[in-house]
Amino acid sequence: MANEIVYAGIGDLSTVEVLSTKYLLLLADRNALPNHPAITLGYQGDVAGKGSSVIKVPHAGIFGYDILATGTEGSDTANTALTDGSSTITVVQKDKVYEYSDLVRMIDATGIVRPDVFAVDAVVSAGATMLDMLANLVDNFSATVGTTTVDATIRNFLDAITTLEIAKVVGPYLSILHPVQWGDIRADVATASGGAIQFNSGNEALLNGMKGLGYKGRYLDVDVFTTTRVPTANAAADRAGGMFGAGATVWADGTQAMDMADSNRMVLADKVIFERIRSGRAGLTALLSRKFVGMSEGLDAAGVSVITDA
């Protein structure tokens, strides 16, 4: 194995210079999926006991997809073809392991090397993993707005809204953007139209009091969420965020059956498995975090990718 947490490898946490029992969290995007209808309505269920790790999601062109045609009295009416399609979700295993030695656990002065700390980490990390999966889907939509190597603008944002409206996508809409993209839009709003736009009360909320990552608020009736997990595009020249409504993405998960006699395994929040694995001969304890989840594109036309300068 490799990457065990042993005394010889934690110099920054154990040398005589480390006097404080407090620690600073390294910078990371720790946000989870926003609780938004554009995401929650795409949940397709739990695969436990279903006999397969793959879920097929049917698409059906009914309830007004086809309108009535003008007929001829006394003549047979021609059939209308039923339009259909499908997408599939494959639930996969996502996991990580931290392993530490008995000596490290004994001399730990920070309170980091403890099962309860890593249990919280398991839940936070699982949420961040799902956000990463979603962020890497929103660049896949066929419809795109923006221009490569050109900063994002409020016009791009408006074009994305219009694209969804033309595609008959039902709101509310959610936009997931890289902080660079949102920063460019924010700067464009502040300086557009000779400065006139910035006096709008809605734009004032956009420009003030929304620092950091995560949910930024509602702008032009679209909920905006930023994350550094938005991927690059065009050989890393651009970032590829997106805007979408319900049905654009679909996802599923799985609940692992637990043996009641095994006190070393438990299911934490949001179906996250947390397991303690002891290697007594080596004096090592491993803490496993695991989640079964899958995410896929649903209705391609229900989303639009926003591809602009990185």
Q: Per-residue pLDDT tens for 209-262?
A: 456 789 988 889 999 999 999 999 999 999 999 999 999 999 999 998 887 778
Q: In angstroms, how far is CA 236 from the centroid of its own chain?
A: 20
CA distance 270 to 256: 12
Q: State the DSSP string of 122-145.
A: HHHHHHHHHHHHHHTTTT--S-EE
Return all residues near 310 (Cβ < 8 A) that are at least 6 apart: 178, 180, 232, 236, 237, 238, 239
**pLDDT exceeds 90 at position 99:** yes
pLDDT in tens, 100-136: 999 999 988 888 999 999 999 999 999 999 999 999 9
Beta-sheet pairing, 222-226 with 173-177? parallel
Query: Which of residues 19 and 192 earns the better pLDDT score?
Result: 192
Does the pLDDT of residue 306 top 50, yes or no? yes
The mean pLDDT value of the chain amounts to 89
Is the distance from CB of 287 to CB of 123 less than 8 angstroms?
no
pLDDT tens per residue, range 157-182:
999 999 999 999 999 999 999 999 99
Q: What is the pTM of this model?
A: 0.85
Domain ranges of the chain: 144-247+301-309
Residue 150 in this model has a pLDDT that exceeds 50: yes
Q: Which letter does DSSP use for residue 248 in this model? A: S
CA dist., res. 24 & res. 142, Å (int): 42
pLDDT tens digits for range 22-63: 788 889 989 988 899 999 999 999 999 999 999 999 999 999
Instruction: Choose between 1 and 189: higher pLDDT.
Output: 189
State yes or no: pLDDT of 11 exceeds 80.
Answer: no
Task: Say how many Å lie between the first and final Cα of the chain, rounded.
Answer: 38
